Amino acid sequence: MNYNVSILIVMISYMTFIITWGIYQGRKVKNSSDFAIAGRNLPGWVAALSERATGESSWALLGLPGAAYATGLLEVWTAIGCVFGIIFAWIILAWRLREEAAKYKTDTFTDYIAQKHGEVGKWIRIVGSFTIVFFFFFYVGAQFLGGGKTLENLFGIDRTIGMLIVVLLVVPYTIYGGFRSVTYTDVIQAIVMIITLIIAPIAGIIYLKNQPEGVLYASSISEALAKAGDSYNTMVGGANVVEGSKLSDFLISVFPNSLNMVKGLGAGIIIASAFSWFFGYLGGQPQLSMRFMAISDTKNAKQARNIGVAWTIIAYIGALMIGWIGIAIFGPDGLKDQETVMPEVLTKLFNPFLAGILITGVLAAIISTANSLLILSATELSENLIKPMRKDKGKVQNSLLQSRIITALLSVVALVLAYFSPSDLIYKIVGYVWAGIGSTFSVVIMLTLFWKKYHGRAVILTIITGLFFTIFWIQSGLDEIISARFVTFVVALIVAIAGTYLLPSGKRK
């Protein structure tokens, strides 16, 4: 049987199971609260695996291995930033957000912020929901793009057709079962993903050692990184900033006679930009915070914390290693698209049946995040923008139908944006969203939880600043000098503190 046909059969079987499971869970959805947040009654293990599957999307199984393949050891800083952020979120924020959601009986992310800062709650809902939906169109599009890349790479399917196939796989059970279907299918996705990220690096190391000399680019990860050049074999990245980039041009213009200064500052800026993924995990990613808010009780929150932290550490080590194994197998210039390194490595290492199961882990990551983002965007629009304007607010079935229709419409818009996206790098697209949403709302959530003086008017100012500053920073090209993820967080924090003292405050609950 043809290799790709074998993989296809496995993937079709898996997706059939996932869709069936999602529809089964959707039968338990009776109202808009079930659709939006599963009635705030998730077991800890479900919340943890769902949060991790959602957080580690096509970015972690395509984007991060691709970046590790393209840059070598430098990408360790990205992993460190993400892992520290996730650990902080689970240990410090998860149980607090769960208790706050229960206290205010909130069904959406911005609804919690609005109720906490009740004096301008209406405007927080409007501004917050608009900002989330605006950026999440691109985030969902990145997942569709990741699916299209995977199917194109494996089966030669046109990327646009591949994206359409992913939409048809994601949307039906998401529309039907909402947050409940999404979280319970995420459990399966997270298990497949972590198996992939454990087995593939181990098999890759064994494969490298057992190949005759000269067949591969290198026989080990360390040899591959050393052979690829100095820029691959260092965590400081200094060699990458001497020439040929906007960062190097900027630093050389400021310090024209000091190459050492250029190298030192350049290395620091590159490390800070890579580590800056940390800031998005401080409560600022609504699709992740909603998992915290949906946990049933404090005991389950502790269980979720332990599972979430362990899963994260294992997964990030595996993702980096797959990228580096790709260098050893194909060489640093051996792949046309760096973000195909994961499926390329898997098809090289395993027989069709096992490769099909593991490559499904890539689609699992894509689907788990795409459906989570669709649900969150739909509920933000439905509950915070459309529902308050309706006259039949009390009719449960109408609210549920409204949420389902909006979910379908948003998926179409996201598909169109993915098709016309100015960038085909998932890593880059997700990085933009991480700045506009993660860095901005992390400031809002952290100050809301830990600073009593922070008030609603300052919240609105923070969100608006984060939205427009991120767009400005990226469109101006300054993101190529220092990441918008880092700068947006700093600017949003300064504006939040200044706004708290300078703007008149209202009552806070």
Task: Convert the pLDDT of each residue in 403-439 to its tens digit.
Answer: 778 878 887 877 777 777 655 556 677 777 888 899 9
Closest CA to 86 of 318, 316, 309, 295: 309
> What is the DSSP secondary-structure string of 160-206?
HHHHHHHHHHHHHHHHHHHHHHHHHHHHHHHHHHHHHHHHHHHHHHH
| Burial letters 42-68, b for 16+ CB under 10 A, else e | bbbbbbbbbbbbbbbbbbbbbbbbbbb
Q: How many CB atoms lie within 10 A of CB 422?
A: 6
CA proximity to 288, closest of 2, 489, 88: 88
CA atoms of 276 and 78, how far apart (whole Å): 7
Q: Does the pLDDT of residue 238 top 50, yes or no?
A: no
What mean pLDDT comes out for the span 88-112?
91
Q: How far apart are CA 192 and CA 269, in angstroms?
A: 36
| Dist. CA 319–CA 72, nearest whole Å | 12
Tokens of 94: 């998860």
| DSSP 8-class letter at 305 | H
- Condensed to tens digits (0 to 9), the pLDDT of residues 354-391 reads 887 777 767 766 776 777 778 888 888 877 777 666 55
Q: Which amino acid is at 72?
A: G
Stronger pLDDT, 273 or 318, i.e. the higher one: 318
Bigger pLDDT: 33 vs 66: 66
pLDDT 10s digits, 301-336: 999 999 999 999 999 999 999 999 999 999 999 998
Report which DSSP code applies to 212.
P
The first and second tokens of residue 91, run together, are: 């240990």
The SS3 call for residue 47 is helix
Q: Tell me the two tokens of residue 356.
A: 């099909």
- Domains in the chain, CATH or no CATH each: 3-230+295-421 (1.20.1730.10)
Local confidence band at 239 (pLDDT 50, 70, 90 cut-offs): very low
Q: What are phi and psi of 129, to 5 degrees?
A: -65, -40
Share of the chain above pLDDT 70, in %: 87
Identify the band that residue 2 occupies on the pLDDT scale cut at 50, 70 and 90. Answer: low
pLDDT tens-digit readout, 137-176 = 777 777 777 778 778 877 788 888 888 888 887 778 777 8
pLDDT number for residue 364: 67
Determine the pLDDT at residue 107.
Answer: 81
From the list 218, 229, 199, the residue with the least C-alpha distance to 329 is 218
CA distance 456 to 498: 13
Q: Are 462 and 440 in contact (CB under 8 A)?
A: yes
Alpha-carbon gap, residue 140 to 369, rounded angstroms: 8
Residue 503 neighbours by CB distance under 10 Å: 14
Taking the alpha carbons at both ends of the chain, their separation in whole angstroms is: 64
User: Is the CB of residue 146 less than 8 Å from the CB of residue 159?
Assistant: no
Task: Please give the Cα distance from 370 to 142 (Å, whole number).
Answer: 9
pLDDT band at 242, cuts 50/70/90?
Answer: very low
